[in-house]
Amino acid sequence: MAYRVTYIPGDGIGPEVALAARRCLEATGVAFSWEERIAGEAAIATYGTPLPEETLQSVRDTKLAIKGPITTPIGKGFRSVNVALRKQLDLYACLRPCRSMEGVRAPFQNVDLIVVRENTEDLYAGIEFSAGSKEAAGLIKQVKTFTDQPLRDEAAISLKPISAAASERIVRFAFEHALKYGRKKVTAVHKANIMKFTDGLFMETARRVAQDYAGRIAFEDRLVDATCMQLVLRPQEFDVLVLPNLYGDILSDLCAGLVGGLGVAPGANIGEHTALFEAVHGSAPKYAGMNKVNPTAMILSGVMMLEYLGEREAAKKLEAAVRAVIREGRRVTYDLKADRNDPTAVGTSQMADAIIDKLSEQTSDFRPQTSVNPKRP
């Protein structure tokens, strides 16, 4: 029986890397029934919104999605589709594994850590008031009745909600993930020495939940600024990190940099009954249609989807194929070459071909699910 999956190609380079991942997933022999839907800039012309209800409903129905990168305008325009999907579907846990890969240039080797980010609260909850607005003025006036702290009348305002319920949910997710995958330690990251009520609540909740896992999983909590410094000095000291939304976003990119960058960093957003898998790099519109970019992050996000489905053997084989291709360094994209101008670099679809070839070498009864032959450059 085929797994029903909502397939969202995305913007810019999204369709190219998403297709590469789809082909590799099909090549594992696991059966999928794809429901293709659009989001982002591609959806605006047709639906008048970057996140059509039809796309949301498909994910609600299948409870499983894989998504290419989607453009998020900076400073103006529509809010992040990625954030909206997480909020609308209550995908409260963002899971970002960061593992060193032989053949990838990186500041460190032997890094193997997981960032678990709370997805629904904090400054990313989207509760903002623009400078000079009636709402901001009213809120500033009200705040001044509660505190004597200086607050400029012309300030823009963002609210930072942190609740015990959401904090407990994400910390418990981190501990359960650690148990499931044989991890040894969970580190809760915060800034409770300054934000004593919001980050303080997160810290206190993490400490309380950790008591339920005493003797099975080690626990510590650290300040976010100190953690950043320690990560770039001794990343091997960390195992699973759990963080509120904003810190989680920042540190997950930092950790990706430790192992070679966002091009090799997969991601998942997981709720109680629904999961969405995505590459976490941008849509790079200037490279759209050029068959140039590295599909590794998207393919490894597909590996995470296989693990989520319980297809552990297929996940193991696909990840091994990706690592083998990168380790050999022959049929890889330009950014994975020692010299980025190396003329032997291949395109997005050709790197997917190499990974599929590796899969066929692993499995004597290999049968691709479908035959997709993208145009060669």
Q: State yes or no: is 287 an active-site residue.
A: no
Residue 158 sits at φ, ψ, to 5 deg, of -125, 140
Rounded Cα distance, 306 and 304, in Å: 5
Q: Which residue has tokens 């190396």?
A: 342
Q: Which of 61, 90, 212, 225 is catalytic?
A: 225
Closest CA to 97 of 234, 232, 277, 223: 277
Strand partners, 189: 222
Q: Which of 11, 221, 249, 353 is catalytic?
A: 249
For the chain, how are helix, strand and coil distributed in percent, rounded to 5? Answer: 45, 15, 40
Q: Which of 7, 124, 213, 247 is catalytic?
A: 124
Residue 315 φ/ψ region, left for φ over 0, alpha for ψ in the -120 to 50 degree band, beta for the rest = alpha
Q: Which spans in 36-119 are helix H?
A: 41-47, 53-62, 81-88
Q: State yes or no: is 160 an active-site residue.
A: no
Q: State yes or no: is 249 an active-site residue.
A: yes
What are the angstrom distances between the C-alpha of 190 and each of 225, 248, 335?
A: 9, 10, 34
Q: Which of 191, 292, 337, 358 is catalytic?
A: 191
Q: State yes or no: is 191 an active-site residue.
A: yes
Active site residues: 124, 191, 225, 249
